[in-house]
Structure 1
Amino acid sequence: MTRVWIEDRANHADYRDRVETAKKAKRTPPGRWRVRWYDPSGKPKAKTFAKKTDADTCRSQVEHDLKGGEYQDPATARTRLVDVAEPWFAAKTDLEQGSRDIYRDHLDNYVLPRWGTVPVGAISFEDVAVWVGKLQSDPGRGGRPLAPATVRSIHLVLLSVLEWAVKTGKLRKNPARDVPLPKKPPRNHVYLSHVEVEQLACAAGEHGTLIRFLSYTGLRWSEASALTVGKIDLDARRAHVDRAYKDNKGTLTLGMPKTGEARSVPFPSFLSAELKPFVDGRDTGELVFTAKQGGPLWLRNWRPRAFRKAVDSAGLSGRSLTPHKLRHTAASLAIAAGADVYVVQKMLGHKKPSMTLDIYGHLWPDRLDEVANALDAKRAEHLT
């Protein structure tokens, strides 16, 4: 049973002695009213106040929090955010190095300068909302306004740190949750037709097969550039994707695909013939697509030297086409060919079908009339 009570310390001889001592030394005497209670673990807790009204307010709040399961130990709430953030970051061992670098950058340049010395229990929803607003209006570290996606990413770091504080018992609820965030800009997707893909591939010369492969499988650049000979099955027309290259500040490192899961991706039979020279007679551990001198292709080099030139030669400039947007082309061509959302989800390596629908849902044809007509036909069949 929840029990919170107020103790009048004026009845205690030791308290009266302390008051007299304080008066003689011309110091503020200790608080007369002590609120006492037991926390959920059974530990005795207390807080003193000079005024009875303040003690009454505290008692009511503690009683409410204990009964509602929202009790927060005042001592843990005084923990500075920096003392929560560092253990949180150290525990993020599941992140790829590139993501860790981004989180570290956000912590050091935006989160800790504002919140590092603030007790987690003193951070309010309103304060976080004001801070997010300033991130949108003030210049960033580079002197330019931060993009909406960057602001959302910085907020995510603070949100995650405070969520760690909740899970470790230093907060009862996360004040950064549901804070208004800048809207993401509309996606600028580019969907090439079969003819346009072929024009681009022909303009790319020796890189034509790679262009076609990206446009018909939907692999991310990081996945395609790390694909090895042993992961291509020409007979089954499958590419097994289980690793990806990550460019971490000029250093390529191998890791898992973005979702952390391997997948098998189909490709059209015409690509089997094109991929045959890339596979036959080569060791299973060799890369399928390589730079001229061997070794992995670097996007930072391949994009300006090969891709952009091919885009211009194919007459496709002005459409903001990038290698990654060939992934959108693969999705659109698969949907147009009749692939359902689950097939496209597995093909692209999305974690959930909802993500696929969120990005490409508008590409699926409206089948409402088709369903209504089928219901008409079935009703007529059963009633005649």
Structure 2
Amino acid sequence: MPIRKLSNGKYRVDISLGIDPITGKRRRKTKIANSSKEAEEIYYSTRREYHNGDLPSTLKRSYSFKELAEKFLAIKKREVKLSTFRTIENIVNSKILPYFKNSTIKSITYNDIYQYRETLQKDNLKHTYINKVMAYVKGIFDLAIEENLLSEHPSKKLKKLKNKNDIEENIKFWTPEQFQKFITIFDDNKYKDFFKKTFYTFAYFTGVRMGEQLALEWEDFNKYTNEIKINKTLTLIKQANDFLVTSPKTPSSNRVITVNKKLSSLLEEWKDQQKKTLEEYGIQQTDKTRIFKFNHRTPNRTHLSEFIKQACEKYKLDIPPINIHALRHSHVSLLINSGEDIYIISQRLGHTSTNTTYDIYGHLFPNRQKELADRLDNLF
């Protein structure tokens, strides 16, 4: 026990009260007692106050929101992928801190947080984005609770904004007929580009995320089983102007998908052409060569997305222009209209659960009420 008798007959009590959650330094409290019994009472009562969240007044101070936000970011940096951390860091520094930077954690009320969300809505931000921002605000206050800096969460009763309309607005997709109009521009001398033809066809008929697609290597493709292993993603690090290969978005994103035979044959054709193209740059094609690579650089994501819109206008295709991610939505629509099971769709997309798939694409599923009524009719 950290109690020491002094030369004058009194007792010194040295009490350790854990680590300061913000500074990372050990907190200590020292008191002088007249007797051994008093020293023990001081020690145990002070420790009890600490464990109950009632710190001695000399140790209490008003932590600023900024301090907790910085601590929150430091923890996130250790817990998540670098690309994810950059997103969180940008939102905290650009959207959250400017509003709360002059506040202390204890001074912020439920109404303050509610009013903050109102300002985000006035900026006409989508509900899905606002909910993401508010999740990080909540995370900062969760940290305050964990560190015994607060006893109650000020935003506990604040419900998420409904985001169904946001999602539906964002879900743009092409039907097979519309995709066929687009992809034929690569076949009739209008725009000879076998790489783009392969890239967009693969995206439409697999639904993989762009980062996953760009990270694929030839060793991930089994031409005998027509299977593709998705086990990594290519992330652009803007600050370093470089790309980083990391694990996929979630553990469930590690998956194997089967492609149709025509797509498999298209990949084989591209492999032969890629070999010749890369040789012009002095690059040897190997099993570790990325499938979607046609020179010494990584394909430009923005160009690949913008090209779709440009082509629709240039060649007067009479189809709605979409971005590259909408090809993933198009694949889901294709599967749904083919009557595919939600569980299979969820697995193919690499979603954590079927709930995720329903949350995003539920409105695309046909109403089953008529089918149910027809089956009941058959029972009469």
**Equivalence for 1:270:** 262
Question: Which residue of the partner structure matches residue 124 of structure 1?
Answer: 109
* 1:132–1:181 Cα contact (<8 Å) kept: no
Specify the SS of the correspondent of 1:246.
strand
Structure-2 change in CA distance of 1:146 and 1:370 (3 Å): closer
Shift of 1:162: 0.7
Q: Does 1:158 align with 2:128?
A: no
Secondary structure of the residue that 1:126 maps to in structure 2? helix
Q: How does 1:1-384 map to 2 (within 5 A)?
A: 42-43=48-49, 78-92=62-76, 93-137=78-122, 146=125, 148-179=127-158, 184=163, 185=166, 186-204=168-186, 205-206=193-194, 207-249=196-238, 250-260=241-251, 261-279=253-271, 282-291=285-294, 293-304=295-306, 306-313=307-314, 315-316=316-317, 319-374=320-375
2:247 maps to a residue whose letter is M
The Cα offsets for residues 232-270 of structure 1, whole Å up to 9 and x where unpaired, read as 112222211111111222322211222244111221111
Distance 1:78 1:44 in 2: 17
Give the match's secondary structure for 1:91: helix
How far apart are residue 316 of structure 1 and its match?
A: 4.6
Amino acid at match of 2:171: H
Query: Aligned to 2:293, what secondary structure does the other structure show?
Result: coil
Change (3 A) 1:338 1:329: same
CA distance in 2, matches of 1:101, 1:368: 45
State which drifts further: 359-368 or 261-270.
359-368
SS in 2 for 1:258: coil
**Aligned residue pair count:** 310
Amino acid at match of 2:87: I
Which has the higher mean CA deviation after the structures are superposed, 157-166 or 111-120?
111-120
For the aligned residue pairs, the C-alpha RMSD in angstroms reads 3.1
TM-score w.r.t. the length of structure 2 is 0.71
The runs of 5 or more residues in structure 2 that have no matched partner are 1-43, 187-192, 276-284
Query: SS in structure 2 opposite 1:245?
Result: strand
Q: Distance in 2 between matches of 1:77 and 1:371?
A: 63
| Larger gyration radius, structure 1 or structure 2 | 1
1:110-145: per-residue Cα shift (whole Å, max 9, x none)?
A: 43333345332222111111122233336xxxxxx6
Q: State whether residues 129 and 180 of structure 1, in contact with CA within 8 Å, keep that contact through their aligned partners in structure 2.
A: no
State whether residues 229 and 285 of structure 1, in contact with CA within 8 Å, keep that contact through their aligned partners in structure 2.
yes
Give the TM-score, by structure 1 length: 0.71
Contact 2:308 2:322 in 1 (8 A): no
- Does the CA-based 8 Å contact 2:173-2:322 persist in structure 1? no
Q: Secondary structure at the match of 1:187?
A: helix
* Equivalent residue letter for 1:244: T
SS of corresponding position for 1:43: helix
Tell me the amino acid that sits aligned with residue 265 of structure 1. Answer: I
Q: 1:125 to 1:312 in 2, by over 3 A?
A: same
C-alpha contact (below 8 Å) 1:132/1:155 kept by paired residues: yes
Q: Please tell me whether the aligned partners of residues 209 and 325 of structure 2 are also in contact (alpha carbons under 8 angstroms).
A: yes
Structure 1, gaps ≥5 residues long: 1-37, 46-65, 139-144
**2:308–2:321: 8 Å Cα contact kept in structure 1?**
no
Instruction: Specify the code of the residue in structure 1 equivalent to 2:147.
Output: T
Identity %: 21
Indicate if the aligned counterparts of 2:117 and 2:134 stay in contact, CA closer than 8 A: yes
Q: Structure 2: how far apart are the matches of 1:124 and 1:334? A: 47
Cα 1:39–1:313 shift into 2, 3 Å: farther
Q: Is the 8 A contact 1:334 1:344 kept in 2?
A: yes
